[in-house]
Amino acid sequence: MLIGVPKEIYPGENRVALIPSGVEALIAAGFEVVVQENAGDKAHFSDDEYRNCGASIAPTAESLYGQVDIVLKVRQPLDEEVPLLKEGSTLICMLDAWFNLPLVQQLAERKVRSFALEFIPRTTRAQSMDVLSSMGAISGYRSVLAGAMELPQYFPMLMTAAGTIHPARVFIIGAGVAGLMAISTARRLGAVVEAYDTRVEVREQVESLGAKFVEFDLPQEEGGSTGGYATEKSEEFYRKQREQMQAKVAQADLVITTAAIPGKMSPRLITKDMLHYMKKGSVIVDLAAERGGNVEGTVAGHKEYIDGVTIIGYTDHPGRVPVHASQLLTKNITTFLLNMAGEGQLNINMEDDIVAATLVTEDGEVKHEGLKAKIEQE
């Protein structure tokens, strides 16, 4: 079977789904690989590097899509790409399916078999395929750097002839993959770090990285997490959480928010009223900006100034380090693909929990039960 890697055309996307070293792994497994011309340019991989690893180069997107059986992408196809997908072909990418239901229906209508990488379960066997963890770690790292560059003060404590500089105080909300990477990065830069998570079981991980774990007196609600992801709480829970969180937010020089719930808009954790109590010149990096943000006033993709506080809502942190982001994606995607392949052919085994969780469309139908139910409701 022929695997195709098109050039990403999503605005601002610099990553590529497969770097040259990944080509060799797929060829060794019995596949052929074709890469669109200049597909790796923004991630600093040249066409010659792909050729040297055994791939052929397609001059246009049309020529690539027209011949391949399997398409590997980073982001979901845009409107102009969907008609290029061949009937019966297989698409593997981050579909962002919960928020792209019309696209899901289009893929079904075109009889494209599609897999959504964001649905990979957080299990031990699937760790090497987990794109959200790979990209979340980059976002956590980049969030601290973005905040440090915007903050009008040093991060570390410095004792100089001109006096002592006190370390920055960083408060991180959410101790998932992104939050834990943010903690370790902020600590390496010399900040005093506190972190909060609704899941008290992450205390040990937070403290092992040198941060203080913060607890609030909140009502107990069912379901701390599902499949490794946080679950939605009641509005009353969020209201009481905000009340108790205000003091910690007011003390911090930099706040990083990471709270996201699969298939839902981001929970509102910091209101404009809370911003009023923050120090002038303090910074918030909202990693949940793409889904409405954890902070009232966040604008996705932009930097805002409200009541003396800078709110950074960038949504492309992984794309700002495209070399390593593409390297990690390549490992995730090739491992996912090879898990359901043998001798250069696909073997779709619905008994495999990873395959069953990620299959979205096949044979003209929406196969994912949750998405199908949501489409029917709408």
295: Cβ–Cβ under 8 A, 6 or more apart, which residues?
Answer: 257, 268, 269, 270, 275, 284, 286, 311
270 belongs to a structural domain: yes
Place of tokens 């790409």: 81
The token pair that represents 117 in the structure block:
């990488």
Backbone angles phi, psi at 301, to 5 degrees: 85, 0
Taken in order 54, 15, 109, 355, the sign of the CA dihedral is positive
Q: Which one of the listed residues 130, 197, 253, 286 is annotated catalytic?
A: 130
Please tell me the predicted confidence (pLDDT) of residue 230: 62
Give the span between the Cα atoms of 375 and 371, in whole angstroms: 6
Neighbouring CB atoms inside 10 A of 331's CB total 17
Is the domain of 231 the same as that of 161?
A: yes
126 belongs to a structural domain: no
Give the span between the Cα atoms of 8 and 17, in whole angstroms: 9
Taken in order 193, 199, 203, 205, the sign of the CA dihedral is negative
Q: Which one of the listed residues 36, 89, 114, 133 is annotated catalytic?
A: 133
**Strand locations in 126-266, DSSP E?**
158-160, 163-165, 169-173, 192-196, 212-214, 225-226, 229-230, 254-257
- Residue ending a domain, among 296, 316, 336, is 316
Please tell me the predicted confidence (pLDDT) of residue 273: 94
Is the domain of 140 the same as that of 259?
A: yes
Give the span between the Cα atoms of 251 and 107, in whole angstroms: 49
The domain tally of the chain equals: 2
Place of tokens 């808009």: 265
Per the structure, the complete domain to which residue 286 belongs is given by 136-316
Q: If 0-12 CB within 10 Å is exposed, 13-18 middle and 19+ buried, where does residue 363 land?
A: exposed
350 belongs to a structural domain: yes
Catalytic: 127? yes
Backbone angles phi, psi at 172, to 5 degrees: -115, 125
Give the span between the Cα atoms of 16 and 9, in whole angstroms: 10
Please tell me the predicted confidence (pLDDT) of residue 307: 95
Is the domain of 187 the same as that of 265?
A: yes
Is the domain of 167 the same as that of 275?
A: yes
Please list the residues that pair with 115 across neighbouring strands: 92, 359
Q: Which one of the listed residues 122, 187, 188, 203 is annotated catalytic?
A: 122
Catalytic: 199? no
Q: Which one of the listed residues 229, 238, 244, 320 is annotated catalytic?
A: 229
CB of 156 closer than 8 Å to CB of 144 = no
Please tell me the predicted confidence (pLDDT) of residue 39: 98
37 belongs to a structural domain: yes
Distance of alpha carbon 103 from its chain centroid, rounded? 19
- Residue ending a domain, among 316, 336, 356, is 316
Residues of the chain below pLDDT 50 = none
- Residue ending a domain, among 300, 316, 332, is 316
Is the domain of 326 the same as that of 310?
A: no
Is the domain of 332 the same as that of 286?
A: no
Cα angle: 374, vertex 375, 376; to 5 degrees: 90
Is the domain of 77 the same as that of 214?
A: no
Please tell me the predicted confidence (pLDDT) of residue 233: 77
Please tell me the predicted confidence (pLDDT) of residue 344: 86
CB of 190 closer than 8 Å to CB of 156 = yes
- Give per-residue pLDDT as tens, 101-114: 999 999 999 999 99
Residue 111 is part of a domain; what is its CATH number?
3.40.50.720
Catalytic: 130? yes
Catalytic: 217? no
Please tell me the predicted confidence (pLDDT) of residue 76: 97
- Give per-residue pLDDT as tens, 292-342: 999 999 999 999 999 999 999 999 999 999 999 999 999 999 999 999 998
CB of 122 closer than 8 Å to CB of 130 = yes
Distance of alpha carbon 186 from its chain centroid, rounded? 20
Is the domain of 335 the same as that of 223?
A: no
Is the domain of 227 the same as that of 290?
A: yes
Q: Which one of the listed residues 46, 56, 127, 345 is annotated catalytic?
A: 127
Q: Are strands 212-214 and 359-362 parallel, antiparallel or unpaired?
A: unpaired
The token pair that represents 88 in the structure block:
């019966």
34 belongs to a structural domain: yes
pTM for the whole structure: 0.92
Is the domain of 114 the same as that of 143?
A: no
Place of tokens 């793409």: 290
Is the domain of 220 the same as that of 102?
A: no
Is the domain of 296 the same as that of 228?
A: yes
Catalytic: 196? no
CB of 8 closer than 8 Å to CB of 15 = yes
